[in-house]
Chains A and B, each alone.
Chain A
Amino acid sequence: AQSVSQHNHHVILSEAASLELGCNYSYGGTVNLFWYVQYPGQHLQLLLKYFSGDPLVKGIKGFEAEFIKSKFSFNLRKPSVQWSDTAEYFCAVNGEGTDKLIFGTGTRLQVFP
Chain B
Amino acid sequence: GAGVSQSPSNKVTEKGKDVELRCDPISGHTALYWYRQRLGQGLEFLIYFQGNSAPDKSGLPSDRFSAERTGESVSTLTIQRTQQEDSAVYLCASSQGQGGYGYTFGSGTRLTVV
Give residues in A with beta carbon < 8 Å to B: 32, 34, 36, 42-46, 49, 51, 90, 94, 96, 98-106
Contacts and interface: CB of A to CB of B under 8 A. Distances in A.
A102 B46 CA distance: 11
Contacts, number: 57
A44 B105 contact: yes
B103 A101 contact: yes
B33 A43 contact: no
Most buried by A among B50, B55, B56, B100: B100
Interface in B57-112: 91, 93, 98-100, 102-108
A62 B106 CA distance: 24
A104 B37 CA distance: 12
A57 to B, nearest CB: 12
A103 B35 CA distance: 10
A104 to B, nearest CB: 6
Contact of A43 (B41, B99, B102, B106): B106
Given A43-B107, A49-B102, A106-B42, A100 B48 contact: yes
Interface residues of B, number: 23
A23 to B, nearest CB: 12
B43 interface: yes
Contacts of B45: 100-103
A99 B34 CA distance: 13
A103 B36 CA distance: 11
Nearest to B41: A105
Contact of A99 (B50, B102, B106, B108): B50
B100 A51 contact: yes
Contact of A94 (B50, B100, B104): B100
5 contacts: A46-B102, A90-B42, A99-B56, A103-B45, A105-B42
Nearest to A30: B100
Contacts of A106: 41-43
